[in-house]
Structure 1
Amino acid sequence: MARKRFSLAWLKPPPVPPDGVMSLSDHLRELRYRLVAAIVSIILGMIVMAFFYQPLYALLLQPWSTAVEALRVSRPDISTSVVNIGIVAPFALAMRVTAAAGIVLSSPFWLYQVWAFVMPGLKQNEKKAALLFIGAAVPLFLAGIVVGYLILPQGIAVMLTFTPDSVEVTNMLDINSFLVMLLQLMLASGVAFLLPVFLVGLNLAGVVKGASLGKFRAYAVFGCFVFGAVVTPSTDPFSMSAIAVPMAVLYIAAEVVCRSLDKRKAKRLAESDLLVEL
């Protein structure tokens, strides 16, 4: 009896038909392939960034140090301490730091997998437009990461001002909780900055029209400010606006791009109808 040879053929994506139309089972196979590829890229990114754990740890702790130093100008007597509670806490800390760094490092690869899952259903000329626009996805994601990182010191300083000065209090920072908050803020900000990429992708897929984005513009801008208020840890308007204003601008930019793409689609459709009549 012949032995079965180990094969990863089941993982390969299905061939894309010339017209780009795929069955539901093929879409699921494509989704499985893209998810596995994205996860593998993130794991490899984690392995690479594990060698830089110490500098990453110092970099991520810098917002806390910056906030404390800024607050000591007005509150020189404030007492702070960084603690790591629990036996497995150091390992959990290392995993969180390397996981977040791996996501950032591998962002070009998993962002490509997201777009590649959408692109098989697009026409060739629309694929070219998508490839041009996806070039903005990675810089936008990284810009959001940086914004989330930079606004945190202001939020920490605001929170520490509530420390009463009438009694002696030591603000003990649980480093794991702090890094969870920081990483969530950075990743949420990075994903938020991808808003125009997803909107244009939906437009290319025929799901969203530029005119529809215009109708909901006021609601979308309001939603951007609500999102900024939710994800930022402080109550000051600067931190909220640092995320909300760029998101609103990016939404309007996506609307402009979608309207332009809709006009091109309508023009091509009119030309094809004219050729059919002739």
Structure 2
Amino acid sequence: MPLREHLLELRKRLFLSACGLVVGAIAGWFVYQPLLDALQAPLLEAADEQSKTIALNYTGMATALDMKVKVSLFLGVIVSCPWWLYQLWAFVTPGLTKREKGYAYAFLGASVPLFLGGLALAWWVLPHAVSILAGFVPEGAVNYTDAQGYLSFVMRLVLAFGLAFVSPVVLVGLNMVGMLRHEALAKGWRWAVLIAFLFAAIMTPTPDALTMILVALPICLLYFGALGICVLHDRRVDRRRMADPA
């Protein structure tokens, strides 16, 4: 496919992804209050447990409206994840063979539950992180947390976990199209484990090692699962090449 057609296809897929995001954001607009209550719950629980005054602070006249728009877009990203993940794979599939297209659709089927699984793990980590951070507020002090800053913190945490869980699927996809061999993944497994634990340490600011291990372990298992799939695929490709050198 010529470069111009690639760029046109990319523009088309980005436009369709944006349309899906807008539809999801509209749905998020109508469920804003329950979602905001869920986002505030860790703060209120930490305040109750530690007998401190902790609350969201809206610093400007337009902050409440800005928050509603951002929370709606945040939910739109989550709700429309099957759609924009499909657009990602649809952009790749025109250059694939029929067999590889089948793999691509299988990857899409794996990406959605993995992305949602990452979001669920982040949602489990969030109250622990908020409780630990709130514990640094001195006795007798009041913590009025900037609403937009808190929302940005939650969004980064949730999306980082979601994308971390999808990354092994991307590695397998690169292997299937011949851009990445399993030997490279096997050589880099120590770095992958180190990065997984660094990610867990940064994203879970809790003092106990158990929480960090519980977060890093699924990411490591997904990496080694991806490595196993790549090994099987490369061996199958090598056998075909040996059987048919032409």
The reply on whether 1:92 has 2:71 as its aligned counterpart is: no
Between structures 1 and 2, the one with greater helix share:
2
Q: Pairwise mapping of residues 165-204 of structure 1 onto structure 2 (< 5 A)?
A: 165=139, 168-204=140-176
How many residue pairs get aligned? The number is 246
Q: Distance in 2 between matches of 1:185 and 1:215?
A: 29
For the residue of structure 1 that corresponds to 2:55, the secondary structure is strand
The equivalent residue for 1:37 is 16
The equivalent residue for 1:264 is 236
Q: Distance in 2 between matches of 1:184 and 1:252?
A: 25
Q: Distance in 1 between matches of 2:27 and 2:92?
A: 29
How much has 1:86 moved relative to structure 2?
A: 0.6
CA deviation map 1:162-205 (0-9, x unaligned): 2233xx21121222211110111001110111011110111112
Counterpart of 1:163, as a letter, is: V
CA deviation map 1:40-72 (0-9, x unaligned): 111111112211111111112122223333x33
Q: Distance in 1 between matches of 2:213 and 2:25?
A: 32
Counterpart of 1:66, as a letter, is: E
Choose which of 128, 134, 155 in structure 1 pairs with 2:108. Answer: 134
- Contact 2:43/2:55 (8 A) holds in 1: no
Identity %: 36
TM-score, length of structure 1 as denominator length: 0.83
- Structure 1: gaps of 5 or more residues: 1-21
- Structure 2: gaps of 5 or more residues: none
Q: Distance in 2 between matches of 1:104 and 1:238?
A: 28
Q: Pairwise mapping of residues 131-170 of structure 1 onto structure 2 (< 5 A)?
A: 131-165=105-139, 168-170=140-142
The equivalent residue for 2:81 is 107
- Contact 2:107/2:173 (8 A) holds in 1: no
Bigger radius of gyration: 1
TM-score, length of structure 2 as denominator length: 0.93
Q: Distance in 2 between matches of 1:124 and 1:68?
A: 56
- Contact 1:147/1:243 (8 A) holds in 2: yes
CA deviation map 1:8-27 (0-9, x unaligned): xxxxxxxxxxxxxx222222
Choose which of 178, 200, 203 in structure 2 pairs with 1:228. Answer: 200
For the residue of structure 1 that corresponds to 2:19, the secondary structure is helix
- Contact 1:143/1:190 (8 A) holds in 2: yes
What is the root-mean-square deviation in Å for CA atoms of aligned residues?
1.7
The reply on whether 1:249 has 2:221 as its aligned counterpart is: yes
Choose which of 171, 191, 194 in structure 2 pairs with 1:219. Answer: 191
Counterpart of 2:128, as a letter, is: Q
How much has 1:244 moved relative to structure 2?
A: 2.1
Counterpart of 1:122, as a letter, is: L
> Does 248-257 or 172-181 show the bigger shift?
172-181
In structure 2, the CA distance between the partners of 1:221 and 1:98, relative to structure 1 (3 Å rule), is same
How much has 1:83 moved relative to structure 2?
A: 2.0
How much has 1:234 moved relative to structure 2?
A: 4.5
The equivalent residue for 1:11 is none
Counterpart of 1:145, as a letter, is: L
